[in-house]
Amino acid sequence: MPDLATPAATRAPAPFFTRRTPGGPPGLALFLNAGDPPLPVLKDLVLMLDEEGVDCLELAVPFPDSVTDGPVIRRSARRALDRGGADLDDVLAFIADVRPRLAHLRIALLADWSHSLKHRDLADATRDIAAAGADGLLIHALPPRLRAAHLETAAAAGLPVVTTCYTKSPPATQAQAAAHASAYLYLVAHYGRSGTAPGAGHAALAQTVTDLRAHTDSPIAVGFGVSTRQDVQAVGASGADAAIIGSAAVAAVERAQDAGLDVTEAFRDFVRSVLPAPTA
């Protein structure tokens, strides 16, 4: 590993999303696969997200054949993998390079257990992720038997963790996920693959958000099926602190690349179309 940025444990902690005031706009997180677009283009795109006031980038180390993702994100991961140069070490070097230039944007790293972490020492990998400058970590498909070790190693490294639960998860599961969230709690709005939305709309999640509040002081972010400004506003109406846009963001990158456009500028237009309007 290269010599990376200052370890997270020595950096002043900063929230991913400010707890929203009643009636205020929610924060915004966007998901992208590292390597789609290629990392040099992604660097310009990330700096643009910071300029535009996006709160969080969920940056995934690409992995194949995710059973929880729909076709848009699966195609994106395959493009990144086929290009090469976006394994965990590459992505950490990318974060170490870009993170010092960000004034507002936070980066939550998403890494799949089997593809990126299984063959590494968990404590060493967590320290490397923190040292790179990642602001938080979400491990995809972490075996339940390793959950306690993950929380312990992340705390030791000073690295906040993103936890997840579904709207239909048992109350005890929701409470545990909320209690362990130190970066933010990702509330999955609909059981299924990414890109699918809850039938009753995101605003109907209000009771679930209220129930989760009893178990955490960390922000609550809602994802799955969020693709427009209206969806973001509906997430805000649920009382959640932030909306997470995944498939729609990845699709915007895909369209720009297929059309031969400047990906960063095309994505800027997408960002401006979904950012919640400020309240008076």
- Which residues are known catalytic residues? 58, 69
246: left (phi over 0), alpha (psi -120 to 50) or beta: alpha
Strands 27-33 vs 184-188: parallel, antiparallel or unpaired = unpaired
- Specify which residues 112 forms β-bridges with: 140
CA 115, chain centre distance (Å): 18
Question: How far, in Å, CA of 251 to CA of 229, rounded?
Answer: 16
3-state SS of 122-188 is HHHHHHHHHHHCCCEEEEECCCHHHHHHHHHHHHHHCCCEEEEEECCCCHHHHHHHHHHCCCEEEEE
Element (H, E) at 33: strand 27-33
